[in-house]
């Protein structure tokens, strides 16, 4: 099943330029050039800046990945590249690079769905067997997927507005903390009291596994403004408590919706979480407890494989290649590319819902 082929993975769909070399489930090298500093002064990822940086860094990352694996380009058996969903300029840079490498080396190329990369990571790290349930939580996505094969996914629910990572990032911005917001908020929450402020738990009153995070951000904004008008400013402890309260609300919502998704999933081998927000220790612990209550193995990949990387793209590429064969030069970059095209999104679902 393509387990021993050596694959070059390329990832450039958001703000990380990444390349990796994978053989079977062994990561021979994994290079990530992050663009945080380039976007820092804008308070978010600027697509044009991201695309330019990808175009500048891709060949350097690939060279560095080959050096790290101590392999020449000729030793690669296949090239896997993120073909969507994501920012079109960045995805195009990666796809054009993969096409060039494929033509010049004669090696097969396969386009990979970025979300499939995240969703298959528990197989790469822990050899999880199909089918399993995964909660995908990142800066642009939030969904529950029953993973049935490298190309078959059933979506059980998704966010109808913001993704949790986006909410963490906005929270950090509102509180004057550094981007990316997730790690900043988590750090401040460690010294905070999660019970001081009453944050809502959106959509828990509605059945099903759909989620919403935009109301949380509004609640935080109101609390912040209230404190500023009462005290004339925010104290360090206020920021800690706001972060702790916000993080606890995200944790509780994701835990309860995970409970429902587990109840709705049949014959799964385990439960996993992936995507950038899965780096959150409090969330991981809550989901692990839940999984244990259901008697299911729980997998949360190591932090470096939860955030964007190219090893997951190489792995998903190897799995898909064995199942569906290679793509040809008509492979196109897809800014939108839902993993499950059969299950309709909730009517009224927000921008991220339709994208994911």
94 versus 276: smaller Cβ distance to ligand KG4? 276
Q: Which does 180 bind (CB under 5 to 8 A by kind): Zn ion, ligand KG4, none?
A: ligand KG4
103 versus 354: smaller Cβ distance to ligand KG4? 354
Q: Counting Cβ atoms within 10 Å, is residue 103 exposed (0-12), middle (13-18) or buried (19+)?
A: exposed
169 versus 308: smaller Cβ distance to Zn ion? 308
Residues that bind Zn ion in the complex, under the rule CB under 5 A? 138, 308
Q: Which does 9 bind (CB under 5 to 8 A by kind): ligand KG4, Zn ion, none?
A: none
* Smallest distance, ligand KG4 to C-beta of residue 288, A: 15
Element (H, E) at 27: strand 26-34
* Smallest distance, ligand KG4 to C-beta of residue 55, A: 19
* Smallest distance, ligand KG4 to C-beta of residue 119, A: 12
DSSP-H helix ranges across the chain: 36-39, 47-69, 88-105, 114-126, 164-174, 181-189, 214-231, 236-264, 281-293, 303-306, 311-324, 351-355
Which residue in the block uniquely carries the two structure tokens 């509180």?
A: 175
Alpha carbon distance 152, 172 (integer Å): 36
* Smallest distance, ligand KG4 to C-beta of residue 274, A: 8
Neighbours of 10 (CB within 10 A): 29
Q: Which does 238 bind (CB under 5 to 8 A by kind): ligand KG4, Zn ion, none?
A: none
The token pair at 288 is 């692990």
Q: Which does 192 bind (CB under 5 to 8 A by kind): ligand KG4, Zn ion, none?
A: none
2 versus 215: smaller Cβ distance to ligand KG4? 215
277 versus 321: smaller Cβ distance to Zn ion? 277
15 versus 210: smaller Cβ distance to ligand KG4? 15
Q: Which does 280 bind (CB under 5 to 8 A by kind): Zn ion, ligand KG4, none?
A: ligand KG4
Neighbours of 348 (CB within 10 A): 8
| Residue 148 DSSP SS3 | strand
Residues that bind ligand KG4 in the complex, under the rule CB under 6 A? 14, 138-140, 165, 168-169, 180-183, 186, 275-277, 279-280, 307-308
* Smallest distance, ligand KG4 to C-beta of residue 115, A: 8
Element (H, E) at 309: none
| Residue 342 DSSP SS3 | coil
Could you give phi then psi for residue 215, rounded to 5 degrees? -65, -30
* Smallest distance, ligand KG4 to C-beta of residue 184, A: 8
* Concatenated DSSP letters of 207-222: SSS-B--HHHHHHHHH
5 versus 174: smaller Cβ distance to ligand KG4? 174
Q: Which does 45 bind (CB under 5 to 8 A by kind): ligand KG4, Zn ion, none?
A: none
């Amino acid at each position: 099943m393509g387990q021993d082929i050596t694959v070059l993975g390329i990832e450039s769909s958001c703000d990380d330029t990444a390349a990796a070399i994978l053989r079977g489930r062994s990561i021979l090298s994994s290079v990530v050039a992050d663009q945080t500093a380039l976007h820092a002064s804008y308070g978010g990822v600027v697509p044009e800046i991201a695309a330019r940086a990808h175009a500048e860094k891709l060949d350097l990352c690939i060279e560095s990945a080959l050096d790290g694996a101590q392999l020449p380009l000729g030793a690669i058996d296949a090239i896997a590249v993120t073909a969507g969903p994501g920012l079109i300029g960045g995805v195009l840079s990666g796809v054009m690079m993969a096409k060039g490498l494929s033509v010049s080396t004669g090696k097969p190329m396969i386009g990979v769905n970025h979300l499939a990369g995240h969703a298959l990571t528990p197989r790469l790290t822990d050899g999880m067997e199909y089918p399993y349930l995964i909660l995908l939580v990142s800066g642009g996505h939030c969904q529950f997927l029953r993973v049935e094969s490298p190309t078959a996914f059933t979506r059980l629910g998704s966010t109808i507005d913001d993704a949790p990572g986006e909410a963490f990032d906005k929270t950090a911005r509102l509180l004057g903390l550094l981007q990316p917001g997730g790690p900043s908020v988590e750090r401040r929450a460690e010294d905070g009291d999660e019970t001081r402020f009453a944050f809502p738990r959106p959509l828990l009153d509605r059945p099903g596994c759909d989620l919403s995070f935009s109301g949380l951000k509004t609640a935080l904004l109101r609390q912040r403004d209230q404190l500023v008008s009462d005290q004339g400013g925010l104290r360090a402890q206020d920021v800690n408590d706001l972060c702790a309260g916000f993080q606890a609300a995200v944790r509780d919502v994701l835990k309860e919706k995970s409970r429902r998704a587990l109840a709705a999933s049949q014959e799964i081998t385990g439960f996993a979480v992936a995507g950038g927000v899965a780096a959150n220790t409090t969330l991981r612990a809550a989901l692990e407890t839940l999984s244990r209550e259901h008697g299911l193995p729980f997998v949360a990949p190591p932090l470096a494989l939860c955030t964007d990387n190219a090893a997951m793209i190489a792995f998903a590429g190897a799995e898909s290649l064995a199942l569906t064969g290679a793509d040809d030069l008509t492979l196109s970059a897809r800014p939108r590319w839902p993993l499950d095209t059969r299950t309709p999104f909730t009517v009224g679902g927000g921008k991220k819902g339709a994208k994911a």
